[in-house]
Structures are given as structure tokens and as C-alpha cells.
Structure 1
Amino acid sequence: MAMLRYIIFNYHHYRAFISNNPHKSIPLFPFQFSHNFTTSQSDSFTVSYLINTIGFPREAALKASKRLRFNSPQKPNSVFNFFTNLGFSDSNIRSIIIKQPRLLSSDTHNSILPKFQFFLSKGASSSEIACLLAANPRILQNSLENRIIPLFEFYKRFFKSDKATICCIIRNLISLPYNLTTVNVKLLIDYGVCDSAIARLLLTRPAILGSIDFISTLEEVKGLGFHLSTSTFGAALVAKKCMSKTLWDEKVDVFKKWGWTDEDVIRAFRGRPELLLTSIDKINLVISFWVNQLGWNSLALSKRPRIFSYSLHKRIVPRALVLQYLVMKGLRKKNASLVEPFAPSKEMFLRKYVLSFKEDSDYLLKLYEENVNLASTKENIDMPFTK
């Protein structure tokens, strides 16, 4: 089909050329030895192979063919077989190739095999390596000696074991600017941040460690009263780094709208840095329910800010309605904490706040379960809560 389109295209140009140049000497088959046609054939085969053999989407195949070209299946098939012999599943191989199509033209035994052997030597199994590479095969395009081994040696301090270090590097670290990341990590060490907090950052928010204005955020978090040797310091760093000052101020204003002071916000943030990662909508929904539906003081939430990380409809609403009933019936002490019951597991909550009240347990269990069931139905989100 590609050849037919090419012939038709050139034929029309040929006819036009004859009409405009009647006395010129024209070869009988003007496109017979066209270099462009050879390229088109090669491109067509590459695209066809990528789509039909590997499973590329058409657009991805067309894009990949601009940087990748082969005239026969011999080379790409050898790469596919190479991964198969290492124990990779077809789905793993396809995922790797679709994400990094240039691997189809790579020197597998000199470029990829040494990296695979290095990963194996550090305790990762073949199946683990296959799954990790399927998720992030970009590491295979990097130098073993100049990139992978230096990363391994630097980060092993924080992950302790060889296997954990390899898994983390393959998963996400290779995409970071190595020099800048190591500078920022060394800065954390100099500030006294504990290794476990650094490891958590590397695992959960590695991109933060590749930022160029890292020291200013460190100083800002330190100025908020966080102790650098605690695990909450890393969480606070994430919260400050992941949002603009404008968004930060907007969230603080939302809390203040509900009666909190700046000091209340900072105190709650110190206790639970993830608090300021909560969306404005979620903050408003939780406090609105707490104040308008239950009639309770919003400042109680500032003492246990972890409540904002719980699901409003699956956890907060069902438990709050149980507590409201207990308070109304005089079954709960007036000075008892209203936020403490939201922390325990479901089983512990039911045992302590539902089943322990023999005469009311049936009603309380029904009240709890009805509201948990409502949570699974999206259309009930904006409906009045069951009382």
C-alpha cells in the first residue's frame, strides 16, 4: 500500500513535469531508484513491526520510527529474545520496548547484560528486576560505571541493604539530576536530618531533592520550629516544597475562616505536616460537617489534625454520628476528646464505642453501617447525612 501511494504520488508529478517541459528527455521510470522510496520502505517496515509485533499504538510507532529504523526483523527479534532468555515475560518486554524503543537497536550483550548482572549481584531477583524495568526502563540507557554504580554507592547509606537500594534506583532515582541531588542530600546531612527521613524523601518525593532552591526551603521549615532530626521534618519539607506561597496562604486563610489563628495552624502543622497538603475543598468539607452538622468547636480539630487525612464519608461521618448520639444520650463524658475516636482501627472503634453499650449497640451499629454504606455511593455525597 505504501508503494502504491508512492507510485501514484510520483506519477502525478511526472505528468505535470511532462506538460511543463515537453522537450526534456525524461526517463521511462523516474522514481525507480528514488532514495526517498527506499527510506519510505524502511520506515513502513519499522512502523509495521512496532505495531504488529510489539503492540505499539500507531502514533507511538510513527514517532519511534523517526529515531529507529530497520529493514528486517532480525535485530529487533534478537533483542526480544535476549529479554526472554533472561526470564522476562512478553508483557514486561513489550512495556520496556514501548517506553524505550531505542533498545531494539542496542548492543544487548555489551550494554544491557552487564547492568542486569549488576542488579542480580545486589540481591534483586530476575522477576523483581523485570517488573521494575517494565515500570522504568530508562535506567538501561544510562552508563553502568558512570551513573548506576555511583548512584548505588551513594544511596546505599540510606537504604542499608543492597536489594532495597537497587529497587529504589530502578524505580525512580535515575531520572533525577545526579549532581544536584547529591548536593541537596549532603546538605540535609549537614543540617542534621536523620538518614531515615532522607530515605523516606528518596522513596516518596525524590523530585524535591533535585530542586535548585532547596536550601531556602530548608531554612523556612527550620524557622517554623521543626527539629531537623525528627521524621516530621521531611514531611514538612515536602509540604512546603509542593505548593506555592499563594496556595499556602489560601489554605491558612481557610482555617482562619473557621476560627483558627495563625498559631493554631502552625501548631497543627508541626504535629501533622501533611495537613497543608489537604485540598481546600477537603478542609472546608471536614470543618463544615464538624461545625454545622455536629455543632462542635472547630478548634478541637487543630489538636488532632490527622483527622483531615481520613475519608470524610467512610470514616469521619459514620464515627461522628455515633459519638454525637453517645454525647446526646449522656453516655460519653463531657470532657472526653471528640477527635480521639477517629484514630483507632474499625474493629477497635466498634468494640469501644458501639458494642460496649449493650442497650444501644444495635441502634449504634445500624447507624454506623448505614452511613458507611452511603459512602460507597457517589451520588449520596451531597445528600444530608443520616441522623
Structure 2
Amino acid sequence: MLCNRVQLRRTAEEQSFTVSYLVSSCGLSPEAALCVSQKVNFPSADRPDSILTLLRSYGFTDTHISKIAKTRPNLLLSDPINTLLPKLEFFHSIGIPPADLAKTLSSNPALLGSSLKNQLIPTTSWIFGINLEKKIVPKIAALIELGVPASNLSLLVTLHPYVLLQSRNKFDRTVKEVLGMGVNPCKSTFICILQMMIRMSKSSWENKMEVYRKCGWSEADFHLAFKKQPLCVGISEKKIMSVMDFLVNEIGWKPTAVARVPSVLLYSLKKRTIPRCSVIKILILEGLVETNMCVSTVLTMSNKDFLDKYVTKYEEDVPQLLNVFNGKVSLAELGYKFEETCVV
């Protein structure tokens, strides 16, 4: 019975959170948000936050995002890296201007739900007259010669076809740069790094390196982090500075330590990082868990695992724990505060 009550309460809270999120982050009216919440449910802000960040990086305005949230809200639960990004990059690679792309896709969001391989590429190649065999096959042959395995080539064609649609000069130059970083062509990370470097201009790369230098990273730290998690160079300067400030100055993590687990930089500071660290801080102060907790483990584990292991398990001991986890109550409001090395 207790489990059923907890589940019912969690479901109701998730629906309430969904309505609140649609209003505050997607610009929907309370009435529209309530209607949309009958079709989609956000367990947390992690996935929709990632989607909105990605869309905004491609020029989508609040108006565009609001239209997508109203007409195709399930897109906000898509996999941003493996599902949405390849389609956005593909449209960009065939020369559609950002403003036109945002306007078109927000008016026809079903395009973002279409199969890239079976629908979008065949259709657009016919419309734009792209000679796929002439443009793509030589590049695939070059990658095979380098030792890129068939399984990774399949990922490249399926998830990142825009890489193969670049000019031959740009493609060859970028491959050479990736190899120069010491990345093994046989590893799947080779494809991930190649597609990210294809996307970035030299000035963008240098600017991002400078941002991380300001946060205490050396050039070696930057390259290490990029090779571990290429998406860390796609984060805005504002987010990098705020996340690093919290992890280093509030939690007591050394900048070099963050570089070894760069995936933590991708998480929402407000919706994931601060609430999780707050939960652990309370549990430590109440003597319910050991003090030598690992920051990376706390932040990278799934929402369900964290909820089960650190929230639901101790709800009777700390009644406000679920509200802390959901970001509704802060440490300060409960009379706690962060101290250096509060989580090690």
C-alpha cells in the first residue's frame, strides 16, 4: 500500500511538474500546458532541457519552441544526440539557412520525427540533386583504409550523415586533425570526435578552449575532456562557467578532476546537479550515508537509480528529501549549506 501511495504521489507530482515546465520553459499558457500534459509526461527536466538547448543552438526562438511543444510535445523526450542532432545537422549540411530551418521545422515538427535514413535523406537528395554516390562513397573508402570498422561506419551513415556531405577538402583536413590528437580510428569515439570537429570553426574551438582555461583547465585537460566527451565543447560559455563554479567552489572538486569526467558538464545545474548534491549533503549531515561519496557517481547515475537509492529509501527519515530532489526546496531553506569537500 505504501508503494502504491508513493507511486501515485510521484505520478501526480510529475504531471504538475510537466505543466509547470511547459509554462516556464516552453512559453505555453497554463491552459495549453494542462492540455499538452495529457499527452506527455516529464519525469524531470533533464531530457527536455537538453532538447531546448540543442534547438536554441540552431536558431530556434521561444516562439518556435512553443509551437513544437504544442503540436509535437513528445519530441521533447527524444534522444538529443542520437535522434535529433543528426537530423538538424543534415538539414544544415544541405544549405538550409538557420532562420528558414527553424521556421520550417517548427511549422512541420513531424519532419524531426521522420527516419533520417529511410525518409529524409532520399527525399532531400532528390529535391536538391545531391549525387550521394559521388559525394559519399570516396569518403567512406578513405575511412575504411584508416581502419574504421564497419559497425562505426554504420553509425556515421545513420547518425551523422552530414559529415559525409562536407567538401572533400574539409573532410580530409578534419580527419587529419582528429588523427593528430591521437584518437584511434578503430574506436567509436573517433566518429564522435570527427562529427563534432566538422561542426566547429577554428575560432569557435579556440574560444571554447579559452573559456575552459579561465575555469582552471590546462590545454591537456581540455583535450582529455574533449576526447572523453566531445559534446563538452558545444556547451555555452555561461553554462560552463556556472557549472564549474559550483563544482569547484561549492563542492570542492578540482578543475582537473572535472576534466576526467566531462559528462557532468552536460547536466542541468538547477534541475540535476544542485538538487542531487543537496540530497547527498543532507544525508551525510544526518549520518545516513558515508561521507566519502563520489561526485561523478552521484551525478551520472540514472534518475531512477538515484531516486531509489538516495530519496525513496530515506523519505521517512527526511520528509523534505523528495522536494529537495525536485528542486522545490533548497539547502538554505532547510538550514543547511554547502561546504568545501561536502561531497568527495
Distance 2:206 2:163 in 1: 21
Distance 1:300 1:177 in 2: 47
Distance 1:171 1:331 in 2: 58
| Counterpart residue type for residue 201 of structure 1 | L
State the Cα distance separating 1:272 from its structure 2 match. 1.4
Q: Structure 2 vs 1, CA of residues 177 and 293 (structure 1 numbering), >3 Å: closer, same or farther?
A: farther
Q: Structure 2 vs 1, CA of residues 313 and 177 (structure 1 numbering), >3 Å: closer, same or farther?
A: farther
After TM superposition, the structure 1 = structure 2 runs for residues 33-112 of structure 1, keeping only pairs within 5 Å, are none
Q: Give the match for residue 311 of structure 1.
A: 268
> What TM-score do the two structures reach when normalised by structure 1?
0.49
State the Cα distance separating 1:335 from its structure 2 match. 4.0
Q: Any stretches of 5+ residues in structure 1 without a counterpart?
A: 1-135, 137-162, 375-385
State the Cα distance separating 1:343 from its structure 2 match. 1.7
State the Cα distance separating 1:268 from its structure 2 match. 1.5
State the Cα distance separating 1:332 from its structure 2 match. 4.6
CA contact (8 A) 2:270 2:327 kept: no
The residue matched to 2:184 in structure 1 has which SS?
coil
CA contact (8 A) 1:300 1:338 kept: no
Q: Give the match for residue 311 of structure 2.
A: 354
Distance 2:246 2:186 in 1: 36
State the Cα distance separating 1:371 from its structure 2 match. 3.9
Q: Give the match for residue 25 of structure 1.
A: none
- Can you list the C-alpha shifts for 1:120-176, whole angstroms capped at 9, x where unaligned? xxxxxxxxxxxxxxxx9xxxxxxxxxxxxxxxxxxxxxxxxxx99644643666554
Q: Any stretches of 5+ residues in structure 2 without a counterpart?
A: 1-90, 92-114, 331-335, 338-344
Aligned match for 2:228, one of 234, 255, 271 = 271
The residue matched to 2:301 in structure 1 has which SS?
coil
Q: Give the match for residue 184 of structure 1.
A: 139
Length, aligned pairs only? 214
* Residue 280 (1) aligns with residue 237 (2): yes
Bigger RCO of structures 1 and 2 (CA < 8 A, at least 6 apart):
2
Q: Structure 2 vs 1, CA of residues 168 and 329 (structure 1 numbering), >3 Å: closer, same or farther?
A: same
Q: Structure 2 vs 1, CA of residues 285 and 354 (structure 1 numbering), >3 Å: closer, same or farther?
A: same
* Residue 302 (1) aligns with residue 254 (2): no
Distance 1:167 1:369 in 2: 39
CA contact (8 A) 1:327 1:334 kept: yes
After TM superposition, the structure 1 = structure 2 runs for residues 201-350 of structure 1, keeping only pairs within 5 Å, are 201-212=156-167, 213-329=170-286, 331-350=288-307
State the Cα distance separating 1:181 from its structure 2 match. 1.8
CA contact (8 A) 1:321 1:367 kept: yes
Q: Give the match for residue 110 of structure 2.
A: none
CA contact (8 A) 2:315 2:322 kept: no
Aligned match for 2:320, one of 345, 363, 368 = 363
The residue matched to 2:185 in structure 1 has which SS?
coil
> What TM-score do the two structures reach when normalised by structure 2?
0.55
Comparing 284-293 with 328-337, which one deviates more in the overlay? 328-337
The residue matched to 1:370 in structure 2 has which SS?
coil
State the Cα distance separating 1:227 from its structure 2 match. 1.2
Distance 1:329 1:222 in 2: 50
Aligned match for 1:170, one of 122, 130, 134 = 122
State the Cα distance separating 1:327 from its structure 2 match. 4.4
The residue matched to 1:354 in structure 2 has which SS?
helix
CA contact (8 A) 1:268 1:303 kept: yes
C-alpha RMSD of the superposition: 2.9
| Counterpart residue type for residue 263 of structure 2 | R
CA contact (8 A) 1:317 1:371 kept: no
State the Cα distance separating 1:293 from its structure 2 match. 4.1
Q: Structure 2 vs 1, CA of residues 282 and 358 (structure 1 numbering), >3 Å: closer, same or farther?
A: closer
Q: Structure 2 vs 1, CA of residues 173 and 307 (structure 1 numbering), >3 Å: closer, same or farther?
A: farther
| Counterpart residue type for residue 351 of structure 1 | D
Report which of the two structures shows the higher radius of gyration computed on alpha carbons: 1
Q: Structure 2 vs 1, CA of residues 367 and 195 (structure 1 numbering), >3 Å: closer, same or farther?
A: same
Distance 1:271 1:261 in 2: 15
State the Cα distance separating 1:206 from its structure 2 match. 1.9
The residue matched to 1:249 in structure 2 has which SS?
helix
Distance 2:258 2:150 in 1: 31
